[in-house]
């Protein structure tokens, strides 16, 4: 395969079920990045991979080629006193883990250059949440980004044009050619961007349940195992946690609403709940992988100390200020975070306990309120969303609503209330909640 240079011949080989060599894959990815492959050829390649799959070596080679298609960040010249660590999630509803985990890891001695994305479908996006903070820039210059990673320990920004450019084009083509749901393409897209950040270790949060990207628990586990294996073989030790998304991770969904929830957790107002538990477990895995703790118990003690002392909150405040946001956000969030003009309690038609939640439907209700995009480039209303979402097994009645709707208008609130009632099933039977952590897969780099 290495002597063949015509891209159509390489596409033909994959179409016919043959494995592509490392050099062939690098040639194809270079053509995607520099535009020498036409959209038709990129689409044909994506479809061939979708239909024929890839062997493990091919997926590793594709991931490394996407990683290397643009700038690969390097940190030795900054003489960082701690490891470079990061986390990625496959997305969910009420999932604001990144807002808490990044500064929490920084307070423990790690350095987190977190390149995040926007909302996709029913899932919220970290960048959209942060842009609910007035002045916060998700596109700083490289010097500012690097300075904050060194001095503050964390900077959460958006993908730059120089970072894994092949992925941007390949994903855009996949989106319009019905080839998104391909494991090699999903894995290489996620990891190509993350590994371009020059990480010492990565933790993946792969969701499972009604609000997850993958359709079944088996598919979620397969994705977690593949990500951990491919990332480690590409040189980055990776731990993948399969976590529960059969209900929203936090009792709220919506951009400014979720920022408020993050501030409550960082500020010590909330010391329990699913969000804190999952974030704490993910953070502990990163401290272990980064050798900032020598045991899980030691990691948890360190995390608890930095949260209780306010050190994690202080890192968040410094990151926000360093990226253009207000310096007193922690002290006076109500001054800066927008609130929707209409707030309405949504009650069940009869009292009972929450038996089942269609988490994806709740996420789509937030999108319909204007809290997510129905078309690329659409403006988002950062104030809208849901709060006080009841959890599985919780009793609801005339006093305890299913949720509160935050809307721009009464009509929007009425529509969202109907969607919430349709998404949450209330009954009289006993309810067993699934464990928060379904599985943990650890892989060391070779």
* 270 belongs to the catalytic site: no
pLDDT in the model for residue 1? 43
* Res 28 pLDDT > 80: yes
Is residue 126 annotated as part of the catalytic site, yes or no?
yes
Helix 165-175 × helix 56-67 angle, to 10° = 120
Q: Is 89 tagged catalytic?
A: yes
pLDDT in tens, 393-431: 999 999 999 999 999 999 999 999 999 999 999 999 888
Q: Per-residue pLDDT for 10 more than 80? A: yes
Mean pLDDT of the region 208-212: 87
Catalytic residue (one of 118, 169, 193, 438)? 193
- Active-site annotation holds for 14: no
Q: Which class in CATH covers the domain with range 338-427?
A: alpha beta
On whether the CB atoms of residues 406 and 395 are closer than 8 A, the answer is no
Greatest CA span in the chain, whole angstroms? Answer: 73
The model's pTM: 0.91
Cβ-contact 133, 325 below 8 angstroms? yes
Q: Give 112 or 175, the one with higher predicted confidence.
A: 112
pLDDT tier at 116 (50, 70, 90 boundaries)? confident
Higher pLDDT, 430 or 353: 353
In 358-423, beta strands by DSSP E = 385-387, 395-396, 403-407
20 close to 14: Cβ distance less than 8 angstroms:
yes
pLDDT confidence of residue 90: 87
User: Which one is catalytic: 63, 89, 210, 236?
Assistant: 89
pLDDT in the model for residue 137? 95
123, 189, 226, 246: the active-site residue:
189
Give the closest residue to 159 by CA, choosing from 106, 208, 203, 116. Answer: 116
pLDDT of residue 120: 63
Beta bridge partners of 424: 357
State how beta strands 201-208 and 85-89 pair: parallel
- Sign, CA torsion 263/266/312/273: negative
The confidence score (pLDDT) of residue 376 equals 64
Percent of the chain predicted with pLDDT > 90: 83
* 190-204 pLDDT, tens digit each: 999 999 999 999 999
Give the active site residue among 14, 87, 122, 318: 87
**Residue 360 among the catalytic residues:** no
- 14, 69, 86, 182: the catalytic one is 86
Rounded mean pLDDT of 32-53?
96
The mean pLDDT of 305-322, rounded to a whole number, is 97
Instruction: From the candidates 14, 88, 280, 438, give the one annotated as an active-site residue.
Output: 88
Q: Which of 69, 90, 123, 126 is catalytic?
A: 126
**Would you call 38 a catalytic residue per the annotation?**
no
Q: Is the pLDDT of residue 222 over 70?
A: yes
Domain boundary assignment for the chain: 7-53, 76-332+437-443, 338-427
Give the pLDDT band of residue 3 (cuts 50, 70, 90). low
Residue 373 pLDDT exceeds 70: yes
Residue range 152-177: average pLDDT?
90
User: Has 189 been annotated as catalytic?
Assistant: yes
The answer, yes or no, to whether residue 185 has pLDDT greater than 90, is yes
The three-state secondary structure class of 242 is: strand
Query: With contact defined as beta carbons under 8 Å apart, do 150 and 318 qualify?
Result: no
**Of residues 14, 194, 280, 353, which has the active-site annotation?**
194
Q: Is the pLDDT of residue 2 over 80?
A: no
Which option is the CATH number for 76-332+437-443: 3.30.70.1450, 3.40.640.10, 3.40.1030.10, 2.40.50.140? 3.40.1030.10
Find out whether 299 and 287 touch, Cβ atoms under 8 Å: yes
Residue of 111, 118, 174, 302 with catalytic role:
174
pLDDT given at position 279: 96
Topology annotation, domain 7-53: 1.20.970
Question: For the segment 237-260, what is each residue's pLDDT rounded down to a tens digit?
Answer: 999 999 999 999 999 999 999 999
Give the residue-averaged pLDDT of 153-168: 91
More confident residue, 315 or 159: 315
Higher pLDDT, 125 or 25: 25
Backbone angles phi, psi at 264, to 5 degrees: -65, -40
């Amino acid at each position: 395969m290495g002597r063949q240079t015509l891209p159509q011949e390489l596409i033909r080989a994959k179409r016919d079920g043959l494995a592509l060599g490392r050099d062939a894959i690098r040639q194809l990815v270079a053509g995607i990045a520099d535009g020498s492959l036409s959209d038709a050829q990129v689409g044909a390649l994506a479809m061939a991979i979708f239909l024929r799959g890839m062997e493990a070596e091919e997926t590793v080679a594709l991931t490394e080629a996407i990683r290397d298609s643009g700038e690969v960040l390097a940190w030795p010249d900054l003489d960082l006193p701690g490891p470079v660590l990061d986390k990625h999630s496959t997305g969910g509803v009420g999932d604001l883990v990144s807002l808490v985990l990044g500064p929490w890891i920084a307070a423990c001695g790690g350095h987190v250059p977190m390149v995040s994305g926007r909302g996709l479908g029913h899932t919220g996006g970290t960048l959209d949440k942060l842009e609910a903070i007035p002045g916060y820039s998700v596109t700083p210059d490289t010097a500012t980004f690097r300075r904050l990673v060194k001095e503050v320990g964390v900077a959460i920004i958006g993908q730059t044009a120089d970072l894994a450019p092949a992925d941007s084009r390949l994903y855009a083509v996949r989106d319009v050619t019905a080839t998104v749901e391909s494991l090699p393409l999903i894995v290489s897209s996620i990891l190509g961007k993350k590994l371009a950040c020059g990480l010492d270790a990565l933790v993946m949060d792969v969701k499972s349940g009604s609000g997850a990207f993958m359709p079944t628990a088996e598919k979620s586990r397969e994705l977690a195992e593949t990500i951990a294996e491919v990332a480690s073989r590409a040189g980055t030790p990776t731990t993948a946690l399969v976590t529960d998304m059969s209900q929203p991770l936090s009792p709220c969904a919506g951009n400014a609403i979720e920022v408020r929830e993050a501030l409550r957790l960082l500020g010590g107002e909330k010391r329990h709940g699913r969000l804190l538990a999952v974030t704490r477990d993910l953070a502990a895995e990163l401290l272990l992988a980064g050798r900032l703790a020598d045991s899980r118990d030691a990691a948890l003690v360190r995390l608890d100390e930095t949260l209780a002392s306010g050190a994690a909150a202080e890192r968040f405040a410094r990151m926000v200020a360093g990226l253009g946001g207000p310096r007193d956000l922690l002290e006076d969030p109500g001054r800066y975070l927008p609130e929707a003009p209409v707030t309405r309690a949504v009650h069940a038609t009869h009292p009972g306990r929450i038996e089942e939640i269609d988490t994806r439907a709740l996420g789509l209700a937030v999108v319909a309120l204007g809290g997510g995009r129905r078309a690329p480039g659409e403006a988002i209303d950062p104030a809208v969303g849901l709060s006080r979402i009841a959890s599985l097994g919780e009793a609801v009645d005339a006093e305890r609503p299913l949720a509160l709707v935050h809307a721009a208008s009464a009509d929007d609130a009425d529509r969202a209330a109907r969607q919430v009632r349709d998404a949450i099933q209330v009954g009289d039977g006993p309810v067993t909640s699934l464990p928060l952590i379904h599985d943990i897969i650890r892989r060391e780099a070779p």
